C-alpha cells in the first residue's frame, strides 16, 4: 500500500506524521457531491455502486487524506430487517414503521448482506480497485444502541422517550431487540471486511443520551459483542458522541481505536482510556467555520495534547457540517500533516 499511515496508527505503530481523515468527508460540503445530489436521491446514490464509488473518491482526489470511507448510511441494513425508511427533504431519516412493542421486535429479520445490501459490497469492491492501494478504505455501521434508537423513535429525538420507555419498561424485549440488531451489525461488518475494507468504524452517535449506569447495562454488552465478533483481520474504531464522562466504559466495550468528540481534551481522554490503545479525534466540526489561522492553531493544539505518542488518528469530533468551506477542510488536513511531520 502506498500510504498505510492510518493503519499503522490504528496498531499504535510509529508513523512519519499523524494521519487524518474526516467523518462525512464525502458529502454535502463539496460541489462535486451536490452536482450528483441535484439529479439523484440520497438513497439512490447509496444504492448505485458506481455513484457510491465516485462520491467515496471525491475527497480523496481533492485532499491529501490518509483514508477513504465508503459512501453509505448507517440505516442501509434496515430494509433487509423489514423496517421501511426514507430520507425527508432535509435528508433526515424517517422510519415508516417504528419498533415499539414486542410484536414489532419479533418481526425483525437478521439480514443476509449479499442479498440485502449487494450494492454496498459492490461499491466497496469498486472503490478498492480504483484506490489501487493509494490509501486504506474504511467500512462502517451504526452501533446497536444508535440503530435501536432510530428504529424506535422513528426520527431524530431530543429526549429519546420511546427508546427509554421500552428500555426501562420491558427489559426482556429490549434484550431481544438488541441481540437481533447486534447479529445484524456483526454480519454487516463482516461482509464489508470480506468485500475488502481495511478498517471498520462503529458509530454510536446517539448513545450519549445515556448516563454511565444505563450505558453499562443497556448498551455496553451489545457493542462489546459486536466488536468481539467481527473479524480480527482489520482494526475496529469504536466511536461514540457525548460520552466523555464515561470513556472508561467505552474502552471496556472494545475496539482497537476509541473515537472521542471535542467535549473532552484529547490528552485527558487518552489518559482515561489508557495509552495502550489508539485514539481518534477530536476537533469540533464547527471550528472549520473559523478563519484559517484559528483552524491551524486548534489543529496544532490537539496535536500537542497527543504529545507525539504513536496511535493518534486526527479527526473531527463528529461529521463535517453542511456548508463547511472546502478551503477550510484543506487547511486542516495540510496543517495536521505539517505540524506532526517528524
Taking alpha carbons only, the member of 170, 259, 255 closest to residue 208 is: 259
Among candidate residues 4, 12, 29, 37, the one labeled active-site is: 37
Q: Which of 4, 8, 12, 24 is catalytic?
A: 24
**Choosing from 11, 17, 28, 263, which is the catalytic residue?**
28
Helix locations, 196-244, DSSP H: 212-218, 220-229
Q: Is 267 a catalytic residue?
A: no
Backbone phi, psi, residue 85, to 5°? -155, 165
Return the closest-CA partner of residue 283 out of 268, 298, 300. 298
To the query of whether residue 170 is one of the catalytic residues in this protein, the response is no
CA distances from 75 to 5, 257, 272 (A): 30, 23, 31
Number of residues that make up the chain: 342
Active-site choice (150, 188, 215, 246): 150
| CA–CA separation, 8 and 291 (whole Å) | 32
- The verdict on whether 73 is a catalytic residue reads yes
DSSP string spanning 129-150?
HHHTTSS-EEEEEE-HHHHHHH
Indicate if 24 belongs to the active site.
Answer: yes
Q: Are 36 and 55 in contact (CB under 8 A)?
A: yes
Distance, in Å, from the CA atom of 323 to the CA atom of 254, rounded to the nearest integer, reads 34
300 classed as catalytic: no
Residue 43's SS3 state is helix
Question: Of these residues, 4, 29, 66, 73, which one is catalytic?
Answer: 73
Q: How far apart are CA 211 and CA 196, in angstroms?
A: 36
Annotated catalytic residues are: 24, 28, 37, 73, 150
Amino acid at each position: 500500500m502506498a500510504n498505510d499511515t492510518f493503519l499503522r496508527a490504528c496498531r499504535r505503530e510509529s508513523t512519519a506524521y499523524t494521519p487524518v481523515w474526516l467523518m462525512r468527508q464525502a458529502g454535502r460540503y463539496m460541489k462535486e457531491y451536490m452536482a450528483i445530489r441535484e439529479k439523484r436521491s440520497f438513497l439512490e446514490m447509496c444504492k448505485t455502486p458506481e455513484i457510491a464509488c465516485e462520491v467515496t473518491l471525491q475527497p480523496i482526489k481533492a485532499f491529501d487524506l490518509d483514508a477513504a470511507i465508503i459512501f453509505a448510511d448507517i440505516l442501509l441494513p434496515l430494509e433487509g430487517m423489514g423496517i421501511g425508511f426514507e430520507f425527508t427533504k432535509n435528508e433526515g431519516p424517517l422510519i415508516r414503521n417504528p419498533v415499539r412493542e414486542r410484536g414489532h421486535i419479533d418481526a425483525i429479520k437478521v439480514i443476509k448482506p449479499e442479498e440485502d445490501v449487494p450494492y454496498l459490497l459492490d461499491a466497496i469492491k469498486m472503490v478498492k480497485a480504483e484506490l489501487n492501494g493509494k490509501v486504506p478504505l474504511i467500512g462502517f455501521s451504526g452501533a446497536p444502541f444508535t440503530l435501536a434508537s432510530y428504529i424506535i423513535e422513528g426520527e431524530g429525538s431530543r429526549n429519546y422517550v420511546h427508546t427509554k420507555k421500552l428500555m426501562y419498561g420491558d427489559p426482556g424485549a429490549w434484550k431481544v431487540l438488541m441481540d437481533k440488531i447486534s447479529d445484524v451489525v456483526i454480519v454487516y461488518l463482516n461482509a464489508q471486511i470480506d468485500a475488502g475494507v481495511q478498517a471498520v468504524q462503529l458509530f454510536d452517535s446517539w448513545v450519549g443520551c445515556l448516563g454511565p449506569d444505563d450505558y453499562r447495562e443497556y448498551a455496553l454488552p451489545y457493542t462489546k459483542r459486536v466488536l468481539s465478533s467481527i473479524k480480527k483481520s482489520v482494526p475496529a474504531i469504536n466511536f461514540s458522541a457525548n460520552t466523555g464522562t464515561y470513556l472508561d466504559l467505552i474502552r471496556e466495550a472494545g475496539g482497537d481505536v476509541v473515537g472521542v468528540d471535542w467535549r473532552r481534551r484529547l490528552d485527558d481522554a487518552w489518559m482515561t482510556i489508557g495509552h495502550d490503545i489508539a485514539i481518534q479525534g477530536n476537533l469540533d466540526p464547527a471550528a472549520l467555520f473559523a478563519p484559517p489561522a484559528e483552524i491551524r492553531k486548534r489543529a496544532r493544539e490537539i496535536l500537542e495534547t497527543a504529545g507525539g505518542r504513536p496511535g493518534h488518528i486526527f479527526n473531527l469530533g463528529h461529521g463535517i457540517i453542511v456548508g463547511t468551506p472546502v478551503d477550510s477542510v484543506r487547511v486542516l488536513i495540510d496543517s495536521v500533516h505539517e505540524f506532526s511531520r517528524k
